[in-house]
Structure 1
């Protein structure tokens, strides 16, 4: 079935702004599920079977978030957004060569993201024809030969090989290996957009770049502190875990600028009593609305109170509050950090956090009384100029009472895309120190590049400067997801070539370079038959557990190739023969790719094929979880922050801190619809949320139309017009709106200092009011 320009664009329907009073989950989620399946014409047996098997042992691993998959799953182990992602992939709509004959690229670029992806699954390899401004069908051989010619004619060190977090471990390993064999380490991925601050900061502080906890640690904690993460939208299956914790008395203390429904209350759609009665579980026992970037100061207040309580206990001869044995045996720089905390003033802490001393004291009480604490966080921590300092403060807080390296305690970053963490594990990185270079050299008899490659920000710089010679995109929507969209889009059109491995159309495809190809691939939910039969792939979750995934649904078209087959098709034409690699053999049997991964990373992937379908996944291990600190000092490290607010710019009259965020009807740049149910916004994404006090200060009211202008100190004009003001409970000076629409306002150089993650959670803007 083909679906085209008859799709309604935003603005053609009724806009409704009303307060949503329901809980997360419940009938709202059920109605959303009932809506998405017919919307995608995906009500057949393939979809129902895929949902039945989703996130279960020997089943299909969701392409949405990276939350853990329990060994003993629920009857339905998928959430609202997971079901949307599955329906989106198994849609009956198709984008065939005839579709491209009906629409020029210039026309398609004007379509909203929702309309482009709603048009359906791509079915044929396509190449851009500049004379007609249309994509035209080509054979796979023609596509591979043309791409290979372009790659061979380019400097590997000036071509970007990007990957999104949907690609499997097998594909990611092949892709990274191809890049290094060819001679490039320009291997940015979606982690560069979101959690790279975790990868750098946790590595520096604990020696481990990932969570030290596992899913079962939530059964053993007695307090959870949550920072800058929207569970109801970004990882809804986590709500089952939080509900269980809340019901057994775990105190859940949440810090976030916006009141997000998932952190407030949850009705379990799989609980008949709750569904029948409308009852819900209160999730957060405390909810603190920090200013954008105010987490550093809030955590500083908790640490200050904890240290001073320990000082008082020492003076009084009472029970100590800090875990001094742990601090002495396992950490460095405690005294330096403790002195910083003691000297911090409450005027500074309350001003920068936006919280009262009393509120922070209540949070500190929970921390000091808890025996096992988990710190949960998301991009509200990592996507700031001083995001590293926020992350260090989270770690400092845990170290004070020995809450790393024991049951029920530790840092718990919630990753976004389903395999974004796993890609880094198997070599998708621009940094040689994260790759076993000597092992690769031994296995494949070549000299891997050792210089640092381009990350996301550096790739954008190279594109804007005209230095990038080509861009290959394994999934994702880089152009739209990246910061400074206006400047980047103009430069993107001048790229010598672009290659897009994708299941659906997106904005990146519609700004073609001199040469551009779209290569349609199988989805993870679809049957992948190769020379040796049905294939399985694998992914890694936020807890470093690895799972096998088997698709069974009928492929969207017979002309599709798998991601491994596409990578191998390009690699085999670009690279000279290597007796240690048989690309065709790897495509015929993904188990041989897993053997190669195990040979490269024997400490993490021992008996990989044998453990592929272990219920609950198999854990690749984590030294910091055993208090083995692979840091420069050999210990866990305290770090005093450089600033008390992570925004990285000063307050001044008329300047606001913009938080860019996702709606309930969205996953990253994929827009499922225009209903942000939890925030009560329906029919539009062109909004700016602000509190009543800020509206009064600006002389506007709910429903007025305004523009946002960049207030960065770089002299570049960045403006988004036509935004509707929406009343929302936010701290004064903090406003919010949706990405990717507002990415144009994020300057390329406004990023986390060390990790280069775009600082989309505290963007300096001004509100322009029409006269």
Structure 2
């Protein structure tokens, strides 16, 4: 196969004629290295990535195997590391030459291309410039501002990259200060997972481990794209297919990463261009149609069970371990195939063909990503997938389970060690005992709550531990102007991004070490730990010389702010914790003893140490003490009715992107090059609307909440998509997402099936 975009007279859609991986992946890494002018030593750093004794990738949260490949990194993992190891520097001189207002006109890509931040900076409103300051000045001023406000009006946000040690202390700091306002990037992507799985099976995380992919007979994918979001996942998928496992994919977009894979670590495939076909069936469900599609699978299972004399469904498992089965069975019986086809956009025959794969498999894994979580009825999406798996006992045995694929490398671990706005998820009594204080017990703010608090001016301070909060949120056009009314904003970061260009009345930009860099404290080089998507914890040790002698670690920065904010407490030893992170790990082990006992001794175990999962052991920590079937009241995951001219917008990442970080403008795996201001739409929908391919259009939000949302001058690109479903890039299209367009249970912004209309530009 070639690996070039194809858009010629023989077809009417843009596509990509290559596979995932292969030489295209290699070129992507080389181009990033050239753009960042990374030193040759960066290649040595990559050789230790995701390996015992090395450092853990800051990109996705995919598992780290006990027996790693020679190169245990993927294209996007390499890009993240090379991006961090850039030779370019964003210095005080740069800020003296550019006002903050002028920088707002720069693209996300160009802002981060300025390089690593080198000095602590204070925003000077009079000159509209960042100016250099000392760390002591910053800590003193931040502490003074925090002491002057009600703690419950402050927000401590955490991105998914902060270590377990830093996250634990950050959460402790918030509670010692007096609030539970601890949203993190999980609020924007997988909070629906945490809420749904916790309620229905008693575990807020997936039940699978890497070893399950060596035993499964079938894998059902929903709304997850490993080719772009977790490319190392392609290796176990390839091996599974080669031993006979079948993969069935449900996704509105035909993603190359689930169609075929050329393994860069197999010389034979690289030299011959041979690839491995992955999905045996690929069903392009319409955006928001997954509940209906899975209900169709379940109806097929019920029909086959009846035809086989009741021997297909695992009734012994259901009787012993589940509740709610009868109501779910009745709901499936009462749901017509006509409605299923209408809401899913799929034919009954195709759903039944997928159902045959399910019933013929002894061990099934259900995989999903934000294509299920980021919906108004995301809870019901995940609950329906659980229904399907529970029917045949595919939770709690080897080679089977439910597997949400997380984004940021430690976003799951942050929740584990206390970054949570929900006090019931945190052992507050243990914190009170260990640190001699009375923790706040009220529920804190989610990401959506924070945005609403900024809009109504009840929020007074925001501290961002990494990330690009203001760029990642919905309704950016409404929130950005209100952001400048905050009394205090603090951003801890490695590189400049758009979120740093909107500042409160007092504002600091604090540069930190990257995970690949040496972290030297009073006791010597420091190790940090992270948790992957499979609940395995890994030690991470950086070896590179820091980008600037003025950088501080994230942990030291948190401790520095906390010392200037809080009253002295003999049980709280910020200096000792900063000097030796092993002491912090002992605190984590004491707080969460069952999961983190002997943490210091275990953190460099090959493949990481497993902190366990109760649902995997069929111990259901739910209100009923059993796994819960549910009977959905709807078949569409959106709450906006279909109307003529209304589309369901799905926002996605490109192949040259991780979250809000834009490495470049090559979405190779979708055949789109050199641009991001595009809307992918089916040729039939282009024709029906009276548009033409390549036309520039205006995208207008259609949430019906009284607020006008509009983005102009986007190019229509003909693409293979279900009718009524259109696709564009995150975060550029986030301003179209209404704050109230979120999952009904978790408040995760519903960045999928966003109601919009398209208008011709005059």
Query: 150, 158, 161: which one pairs with 1:163?
Result: 158
Q: 1:445: which partner in 2? A: 436
Q: 1:229: which partner in 2? A: 224
Q: Residues 598-623 of structure 1, C-alpha deviation per residue, up to 9 Å, x if partnerless?
A: 01000110100000100000010011
Q: Residues 246-276 of structure 1, C-alpha deviation per residue, up to 9 Å, x if partnerless?
A: 1111000000000000000000001000000
The Cα of 1:405 is off from its aligned counterpart by 0.3
Q: 1:375: which partner in 2? A: 366
Q: Secondary structure at the match of 1:408?
A: coil
Q: 2:31: which partner in 1? A: 35
- Trace 1:685-696 onto structure 2 (pairs within 5 A): 685-696=676-687
**Native 8 Å contact 2:14 2:717 kept in 1:** no
Gaps of 5+ in 2: 1-12
**1:218 and 2:213 matched:** yes
The Cα of 1:723 is off from its aligned counterpart by 0.3
**Native 8 Å contact 1:415 1:421 kept in 2:** yes
Q: Residues 411-434 of structure 1, C-alpha deviation per residue, up to 9 Å, x if partnerless?
A: 000000000000000000001110
**1:301 and 2:301 matched:** no
**Native 8 Å contact 2:374 2:749 kept in 1:** yes
Query: 724, 746, 750: which one pairs with 2:741?
Result: 750
Q: Secondary structure at the match of 1:760?
A: coil
**Native 8 Å contact 2:454 2:479 kept in 1:** yes
Q: Residues 26-58 of structure 1, C-alpha deviation per residue, up to 9 Å, x if partnerless?
A: 00001111111121010321x112100000111
Q: 1:25: which partner in 2? A: 21
Distance (Å, rounded) in 1 between the aligned partners of 2:538 and 2:263: 25
The Cα of 1:503 is off from its aligned counterpart by 0.3
**Native 8 Å contact 1:176 1:427 kept in 2:** yes
Q: 1:397: which partner in 2? A: 388
Distance (Å, rounded) in 1 between the aligned partners of 2:131 and 2:91: 10
**1:55 and 2:50 matched:** yes
- Trace 1:104-119 onto structure 2 (pairs within 5 A): 104-119=99-114
Distance (Å, rounded) in 1 between the aligned partners of 2:515 and 2:189: 23
Query: 606, 615, 619: which one pairs with 2:597?
Result: 606
Query: 88, 93, 97: which one pairs with 2:88?
Result: 93
Query: 591, 599, 606: which one pairs with 2:582?
Result: 591
**1:182 and 2:173 matched:** no
Distance (Å, rounded) in 1 between the aligned partners of 2:609 and 2:415: 17
Of residues 441-450 and 18-27 in structure 1, the stretch that sits farther from structure 2 once superposed is 18-27
**Native 8 Å contact 1:547 1:612 kept in 2:** yes
Structure 1 runs, 4 residues or longer, greater than 4 Å off: none
Distance (Å, rounded) in 2 between the aligned partners of 1:233 and 1:494: 37
The Cα of 1:654 is off from its aligned counterpart by 0.8
Q: TM (normalized to structure 2)?
A: 0.98
Query: 415, 420, 423: which one pairs with 2:414?
Result: 423
Q: 1:465: which partner in 2? A: 456
**1:732 and 2:723 matched:** yes
Distance (Å, rounded) in 1 between the aligned partners of 2:333 and 2:285: 22
The Cα of 1:308 is off from its aligned counterpart by 2.0
Distance (Å, rounded) in 1 between the aligned partners of 2:217 and 2:692: 43
Q: 2:4: which partner in 1? A: none
**1:264 and 2:259 matched:** yes
- Trace 1:402-551 onto structure 2 (pairs within 5 A): 402-551=393-542
The Cα of 1:154 is off from its aligned counterpart by 1.1
Query: 707, 716, 725: which one pairs with 2:698?
Result: 707
Distance (Å, rounded) in 1 between the aligned partners of 2:103 and 2:40: 29
**1:328 and 2:312 matched:** no
Distance (Å, rounded) in 2 between the aligned partners of 1:44 and 1:171: 30
Distance (Å, rounded) in 1 between the aligned partners of 2:638 and 2:327: 24
Distance (Å, rounded) in 1 between the aligned partners of 2:277 and 2:14: 22
RMSD, aligned α-carbons:
0.8
**Native 8 Å contact 2:15 2:719 kept in 1:** no
**1:665 and 2:656 matched:** yes
The Cα of 1:529 is off from its aligned counterpart by 0.5
Q: Residues 131-186 of structure 1, C-alpha deviation per residue, up to 9 Å, x if partnerless?
A: 11000000000000010011001111011000000000000000000000000100
Q: Secondary structure at the match of 2:182?
A: coil
Distance (Å, rounded) in 1 between the aligned partners of 2:250 and 2:300: 17
Distance (Å, rounded) in 2 between the aligned partners of 1:370 and 1:91: 47
**Native 8 Å contact 1:349 1:644 kept in 2:** yes
Distance (Å, rounded) in 1 between the aligned partners of 2:15 and 2:254: 12
Q: 1:9: which partner in 2? A: none
**Native 8 Å contact 1:331 1:635 kept in 2:** yes
Q: Secondary structure at the match of 1:547?
A: strand
The Cα of 1:205 is off from its aligned counterpart by 0.8
Q: 1:569: which partner in 2? A: 560
The Cα of 1:625 is off from its aligned counterpart by 0.3
Q: Residues 726-754 of structure 1, C-alpha deviation per residue, up to 9 Å, x if partnerless?
A: 01100000000001000000000000000
Q: 2:198: which partner in 1? A: 203
Distance (Å, rounded) in 1 between the aligned partners of 2:504 and 2:714: 31
**Native 8 Å contact 1:385 1:750 kept in 2:** yes
Q: TM (normalized to structure 1)?
A: 0.97
Distance (Å, rounded) in 2 between the aligned partners of 1:366 and 1:283: 14
The Cα of 1:18 is off from its aligned counterpart by 5.5
Distance (Å, rounded) in 1 between the aligned partners of 2:131 and 2:459: 25
**Native 8 Å contact 2:377 2:744 kept in 1:** yes
Distance (Å, rounded) in 2 between the aligned partners of 1:43 and 1:585: 35
Distance (Å, rounded) in 1 between the aligned partners of 2:651 and 2:370: 10
Q: Secondary structure at the match of 1:448?
A: coil
Distance (Å, rounded) in 2 between the aligned partners of 1:466 and 1:576: 27
**Native 8 Å contact 1:222 1:370 kept in 2:** yes
Q: Secondary structure at the match of 2:155?
A: strand
Distance (Å, rounded) in 2 between the aligned partners of 1:248 and 1:44: 39
Q: Residues 657-710 of structure 1, C-alpha deviation per residue, up to 9 Å, x if partnerless?
A: 000010000000000001100111111100000001100011112111001000
Distance (Å, rounded) in 2 between the aligned partners of 1:692 and 1:275: 34
Q: Secondary structure at the match of 2:452?
A: helix
Query: 630, 653, 666: which one pairs with 1:675?
Result: 666
**Native 8 Å contact 2:36 2:86 kept in 1:** yes
The Cα of 1:770 is off from its aligned counterpart by 2.7
Q: 1:6: which partner in 2? A: none
Q: Residues 349-405 of structure 1, C-alpha deviation per residue, up to 9 Å, x if partnerless?
A: 000000000000001101111100000000000000000000100000000000000
Distance (Å, rounded) in 2 between the aligned partners of 1:704 and 1:655: 18
**Native 8 Å contact 1:384 1:648 kept in 2:** no
Query: 550, 574, 580: which one pairs with 2:571?
Result: 580
**Native 8 Å contact 1:308 1:342 kept in 2:** no
The Cα of 1:236 is off from its aligned counterpart by 0.3
Gaps of 5+ in 1: 1-16
Q: Residues 504-543 of structure 1, C-alpha deviation per residue, up to 9 Å, x if partnerless?
A: 0011110111111000000000000110110000000000
**1:627 and 2:618 matched:** yes
**Native 8 Å contact 2:713 2:761 kept in 1:** no
Q: Secondary structure at the match of 2:595?
A: coil
